[in-house]
Amino acid sequence: MAETDCEAAQQAEMIKQGNADFRDHCWRASYHYDFDFDLQLLKRILRADLEESGYQSALTRSQNSQYGTGWMYHDSESIASTSSCDEWDGYMTIDNERIKIREVSDLLVTRYAFISGAKSEQGLPVLTFPDSHVQFTFADYRILVNYLARLQPVEDIFNGFIAVIDRRTDRWSSVKTVLSYLTLFFPGSLRVAYVLKPDGMLQRALEVGYKRISEAKRFQVFVCNNLLELHRHVHPSRLTVDLGGSFCYNHIEWLQHRMEVERLRCSAEGIARTLDEFVQSLKDTELPNDASTTAHILSSQRTDRDAIKEDFRIVVRRGFDLLKAVRQVDTKPDADQLSPTRLHNVTSVQRTLLQLEDAEKSFDKFWPDHELRLEHCLRLRQFEEDFKKLQANFLNHLDRLRNSNDCREDEQRLCSIEDTDRLIDEYQSYAKRTEEDFEAANALKLRGEQLIETEEKELIGSITPKCQELNRLTVQLDAALRKRAQFLHSARRFQNYISLANEWCAVGVDLLTGAAMEFESVNDCEAALQRVRTFLKSGDQLCFDMDTSDSLLLLTSYDTKTLLDQVSALRLLHTWNI
């Protein structure tokens, strides 16, 4: 019995030595991470990439806008405001829970578990739990495996996974924890788990207590003593370097690209959400009743539109930069040369860029119609405001002309030729000023006709009545101006007639005053009679057309009537004397 135990110990020692030699020969490229160093390095890289992306400058440019890049960052946590490595850079939803991208990155960077993209001979994805000495709570484990599983195609999740658990330098308790986690929860079908058992001296002594660790599981569990046994189940080409395999996988590089993809997706989702809110606000916009408010709304919405378009440009530019970095076109021109993880990231970036393109096209199709509708409304409101101003001007003109034609006012102002000439000059100046309103009215009517031809039916219902009102006002004002001009022209003629009548009366008075009452001869009498006849004949030239209404209005003036009575009395006196 003792000899048997001794032989078994010798065989175990030989196997251990052989494994050590094999590892020294084949796995010199294997390495262990300094997790703290890697964590700080990764965060510095991610922060530098974000700063280079232009997001911060876009936030600064749009901080006064309701829409724009401001939604990309939390109000109190942003790259510009933090002084540590706790940047907030977006959210993702995992297992119906909203989680910060930074928190997921912190879980992934520990290398507690990863999916390298390799598949078993049966085509099942390989989930690796490396020998990283990292302890996870069940909640963190659930988030991590949920995230890793969601990155796989649906058919792979349906077909199932295999798990490789490396605990060679760890403890049996760690093996038990991982297996219990996998038993309690796994987002898919887990077919089999291969465990590289702890090979420490103390752990070998404790192995007997974990003999039944593979029992009562929903999946098969194979405990492998060494890498050779693992390779009998999983070919080395399906395993990463630290498991003695040849499958190329760089966890830090994958993590950096993956988090950039998530940030890009988060940005795209934020843009889509903001765009939906903006489009809905545009649809809910009520057309104002004044031009200034309409112009303000149009200007502010154009500013918001420009901010969102800037977001699209920033995210798309960042997406193409990321696609170029992940795709490695220069070194790997064919897609078949990409690793599965790189190919998956490339597909994710391309899908996100296509979604952004579709969203932008949809918005670009909607915006011109909305902008045109607001521009139509603005032109209509400007037309209405210009109409109100012109209407007020025309009514003021009509009131002024109506008051000017008041006979009682003209009795005081039409007392002489000089007064009449002054009124004529005032009228001519006033008529020139009204020409501006006539021109404005004609231009406004033309604008109204153009609006009727081009604007929406719901906006043009009030334009036609306003154009008709402009026509009526222009005709009225033109008639009033003509009437005023005719009135002043008649007044000027009448004042001239009165002046001539006064002169004729004065000549008649002088003629009667200087005439002798007794004549020495018949010739002297005939000469005097001839002078009177000549004077009376000259009075026939003082004829005035009294048929017009303006002349009749003038006859009602007290001063004018008195002068006419004087002329008539003088002519009767002359006739009586003769």
Average pLDDT over residues 213-228: 82
Is residue 22, in this structure, part of any structural domain at all?
A: yes
Structure confidence at residue 449 (pLDDT): 82
Residue 186's pLDDT band (cuts 50, 70, 90)? very high
Structure confidence at residue 176 (pLDDT): 87
Computed on alpha carbons and rounded to an integer, the radius of gyration of the chain in Å comes to 53
> In 169-201, which positions are buried (b, 16+ CB within 10 angstroms) versus exposed (e)?
ebebebbebbbebbeeebbbebebbbbbbbbee
Q: How far apart are CA 539 and CA 545, in angstroms?
A: 15
pLDDT tens figures, 444-474: 888 888 888 776 565 567 788 888 888 898 8
Structure confidence at residue 28 (pLDDT): 37
Q: How far apart are CA 118 and CA 343, in angstroms?
A: 12
Residue 216: C-alpha distances to residues 183, 186, 541 (Å): 9, 16, 141
Structure confidence at residue 533 (pLDDT): 80
Structure confidence at residue 567 (pLDDT): 55
Residue 157's pLDDT band (cuts 50, 70, 90)? confident
Least confident residue range of 89-103, 199-213, 301-315? 199-213
- Residue 148 backbone phi and psi in degrees, to 5: -65, -40
Report whether 257 contacts 326 (CB < 8 A): yes
Q: What DSSP string describes 115-146?
A: EEEEE-TTSPEEEEE-S------HHHHHHHHH
Structure confidence at residue 363 (pLDDT): 92
Residue 230's pLDDT band (cuts 50, 70, 90)? very high
Structure confidence at residue 568 (pLDDT): 58
Average pLDDT over residues 224-231: 92
Is residue 361, in this structure, part of any structural domain at all?
A: no
Is residue 326, in this structure, part of any structural domain at all?
A: no
**Across the chain, what does the average pLDDT equal?**
76
Is residue 358, in this structure, part of any structural domain at all?
A: no
Among candidates 11, 291, 280, 340, which has minimal Cα distance to 151?
340
Indicate whether 485 pLDDT > 70: yes
Least confident residue range of 149-158, 189-198, 326-335? 326-335
User: Assign residue 98 a region: left if phi > 0, alpha if psi is -120 to 50, beta otherwise?
Assistant: beta
Structure confidence at residue 492 (pLDDT): 78
Structure confidence at residue 63 (pLDDT): 41
Structure confidence at residue 84 (pLDDT): 36
Residue with tokens 């993956």: 258
> For 179, what's the count of Cα atoms within 13 Å in the CB-facing half-sphere?
27
Q: Please give the angle made by the CA atoms of 168, 171 and 176, to the nearest 5 degrees.
A: 105
Is residue 530, in this structure, part of any structural domain at all?
A: yes
Q: How far apart are CA 170 and CA 150, in angstroms?
A: 28
The parent domain of residue 440 ranges over 405-577
Structure confidence at residue 74 (pLDDT): 35
Residue with tokens 């020969």: 25
> Which residues, other chains included, contact 364 with Cβ-Cβ below 8 Å and sequence gap of 6+?
none
Count how many residues are written for the chain: 578
pLDDT tens figures, 114-138: 999 899 999 999 999 999 889 999 9
Indicate whether 145 pLDDT > 80: yes
Most confident of 52-66, 328-342, 554-568: 328-342
Structure confidence at residue 507 (pLDDT): 79
Residue with tokens 């409304």: 377
> Which residues, other chains included, contact 398 with Cβ-Cβ below 8 Å and sequence gap of 6+?
473, 476, 477, 480
Is residue 15, in this structure, part of any structural domain at all?
A: yes
Is residue 190, in this structure, part of any structural domain at all?
A: no
Which H or E run includes 91?
A: strand 91-94
Average pLDDT over residues 46-57: 46
Q: How far apart are CA 262 and CA 352, in angstroms?
A: 10
Least confident residue range of 288-302, 356-370, 540-554? 540-554
Q: Are strands 114-119 and 97-100 parallel, antiparallel or unpaired?
A: unpaired
Query: Into how many domains does the chain fold?
Result: 2
Structure confidence at residue 552 (pLDDT): 46
- Three-state secondary-structure class, residue 163: strand
Indicate whether 367 pLDDT > 90: yes
Q: What DSSP string describes 365-392?
A: HHHHHHHHHHHHHHHHHHHHHHHHHHHH
Q: How far apart are CA 133 and CA 450, in angstroms?
A: 79
Q: What is the amino acid identity at position 443?
A: A
Q: How far apart are CA 291 and CA 27, in angstroms?
A: 78
Is residue 373, in this structure, part of any structural domain at all?
A: no
Which H or E run includes 190?
A: strand 190-196
User: Assign residue 20 a region: left if phi > 0, alpha if psi is -120 to 50, beta otherwise?
Assistant: alpha
Neighbours of 126 (CB within 10 A): 23
